[in-house]
Amino acid sequence: MIFTKTDIDYWFSIEPYVFVGLTNKFVLLYNTLDGVTIESDKSEVIDLLRETLQEDNCGVVLLTNERYKQKDVTDFINELREKFMGDIIEIDLSKGKPVQLLPYFNFPNKLEIYKKHNFFPFKNVLKNISEIAIYLDTITNVTELISFLQSIQESLTFKIIGDIGVVKNYKKLLSYFEQITSPKIVICSYKDVIALQPAFENNFSYKISVLFPIDEQRWNHSRKLLQNQTLSVEYVFDVSSDEDCLQAEQLIDQYQIEKYRLNPLYTGKNISFFEQNVFLNKEDILTTSMSIKDFFINQAINIYDFGKINIMPNGDAYANLNQPVLGNIYTESIYELVSKEIKEGTSWFRIRNQSPCNNCVYQWLCPPPSNFEIEIGRPNLCHVNK
C-alpha cells in the first residue's frame, strides 16, 4: 500500500496522454508515451473510469476514502501511479476541484455540421485528396483522362495500374506525367512490364505484382527489362497459401530482391490461411505503437481509403472499388466526386463503429476496416473478444 492515512478523500485523474478503452465488462488503459497498458475487469474500476471520462467531470472525480479502501480500486490506483498513467491527491491540498485536460475527440460533430448544411469549402475539399489511382485497358480515353487530370493539383501520388502497352496513345499519357513532379507509380504484373527509360523517368517507379504460379520465361524477360533501368522497383507477391509464401521467399533469395512485400490474397477457400497469417490477436494489437493522434485518426477516417480516388478505364470513379460508384470523370468534376464521398460515401469514413468492434476495448487500437473484411464478409478479422 502506498498510502497509509485514513479517512482522507482524494481527487482522482488520469493523464492526458493515456487512452482509455471502456466497455461494460472490461477496461484498457494505454500509455501513448511508452506503450504500457493496464487491463481490468473489476466493476469498481470500470465505474470509476466511466465517471472520470464524462466531459462534465473534466477528467477529475472525487475518490472517497471508503471507495479507495476497496481492494480492487486500491490495487488499480497503485498500478496506475507506478506506470505514470494517473494520480490521486488529497482534496485538502486543493482549493477546489482540479481540472484535467483530457483529449476529447469531437471531429464527427464538425463533419455532421458540414453534411447538415451542405457546405464544404472548395479548397478544403480538394486538399483531402492525396492519391489518384488510374486503371488502364484498351477502352481508356487518354485525351479525356488527361483533361480531367489537369484539373487536379499536382501535389498527389499517381498510381498507373494495368497493362500500359495495350492503351492507345499510352506514350501521350506518360508524356503528360513526365511533365509533372508528382510521384508516379506504375503498377502492373511482371508479365506486362514496359521499359520507361530513357524517355520517361521523372519520378517514376515500379510496383510489380506477382501471382503464382509464375511463367518463368516472362519472369526472366521482365527481370532483364527492369535491370536495365535505374528506377525504383518493389515486388508485391500475391500469396494465398503457405506454399505461395515459400515460393516468394525462394524468388526473393534467388534474385536478391531487396524491396518487396507479401500481399495476402483471399480466394474464398483459404480462410484458415487468413486466420493464421492475417487475423490479429491481442499481442499483435498491443505491440503496435500508438499516439493520441493515431487514436483520433482511427475514430475519424479510414487510413486505407481516405483521400484516394480510383478511376476505371470507362471513367467511373470510386473511393473504394468495393463500394458504390461516385460518378464519372467525363461528366463530373473532381470537386463533385470528392464532395459526394464526404457527404454520402461509405469509404473514407468507414471506421470500426459497428458490432462487434464497437463493444471491444481494442476498438481504436486496431487498424481500420480493410478490403479483406469486405471480401471475407466479416466486420472484424481478429481472435479477440473484449
Tell me, yes or no, whether 81 lies in a domain: yes
Residue type, 282: K
Name the packing angle between helices 107-117 and 292-300 (round to 10°): 30
Beta strands in 306-378 (DSSP E): 308-311, 316-318, 327-328
The beta-carbon contacts of 370-376 under 8 Å, at least 24 apart in sequence, are: 370/304, 371/304, 371/320, 371/322, 372/264, 372/266, 372/274, 372/278, 374/322, 375/266, 375/322, 376/266, 376/271, 376/274
Same domain? 149 vs 34: no
Q: Is the pLDDT of residue 90 over 90?
A: yes
Tell me, yes or no, whether 5 lies in a domain: no
Tell me, yes or no, whether 3 lies in a domain: no
Q: Which domain holds residue 120?
A: 110-376
Q: Alpha helices of the chain — where are they, by DSSP H?
A: 43-53, 65-68, 71-82, 107-117, 122-127, 142-149, 170-178, 216-227, 242-254, 271-277, 282-286, 292-300, 334-344, 371-376
Say which DSSP state 191 is in. Answer: G
State the cell numbers at 311: 478511376
pTM, to two decimals: 0.88
Same domain? 168 vs 30: no
Looking at residue 1, its pLDDT comes to 46
What is the residue-averaged pLDDT of the chain?
91
C-alpha 209/C-alpha 238 separation (Å) is 7
Q: Tens digits of per-residue pLDDT, 11-63?
A: 999 999 999 999 999 999 999 999 999 999 999 999 999 999 998 888 899 99
Residues 207-220: what's their mean pLDDT? 97
Q: Which of 121-135, 138-152, 203-217 has the lowest mean pLDDT?
A: 121-135
Tell me, yes or no, whether 102 lies in a domain: no
Same domain? 305 vs 159: yes
Tell me, yes or no, whether 301 lies in a domain: yes
Same domain? 82 vs 144: no
Looking at residue 228, its pLDDT comes to 87
Of 93, 125, 153, the last residue of a domain is 93
Same domain? 81 vs 210: no
CB 145 within 8 A of CB 134: yes
C-alpha 236/C-alpha 74 separation (Å) is 52
Same domain? 14 vs 119: no
Same domain? 244 vs 332: yes
Q: Alpha helices of 138-214 — where are they, by DSSP H?
A: 142-149, 170-178
CATH of the domain at 241: 3.20.20.70
CB 295 within 8 A of CB 19: yes
State the cell numbers at 138: 484498351
Of 93, 121, 154, the last residue of a domain is 93
Same domain? 58 vs 124: no
Q: Tens digits of per-residue pLDDT, 156-181?
A: 999 999 999 999 999 999 999 999 99
Torsion angle, alpha carbons of 213, 215, 218, 219, to 10: 50
Same domain? 167 vs 195: yes
CB 202 within 8 A of CB 175: no
Peptide bond into 356 cis (omega under 30): yes
Number of separate domains in the chain: 2
Same domain? 217 vs 325: yes
C-alpha 70/C-alpha 51 separation (Å) is 17
Same domain? 179 vs 321: yes
Same domain? 180 vs 328: yes
Of 63, 93, 123, the last residue of a domain is 93
Tell me, yes or no, whether 385 lies in a domain: no
C-alpha 195/C-alpha 174 separation (Å) is 12
- Cβ count within 10 A of residue 244: 21
Tell me, yes or no, whether 103 lies in a domain: no
Tell me, yes or no, whether 284 lies in a domain: yes
Which of 336, 330, 345 is CA-nearest to residue 149? 330
C-alpha 107/C-alpha 309 separation (Å) is 22
C-alpha 141/C-alpha 152 separation (Å) is 17
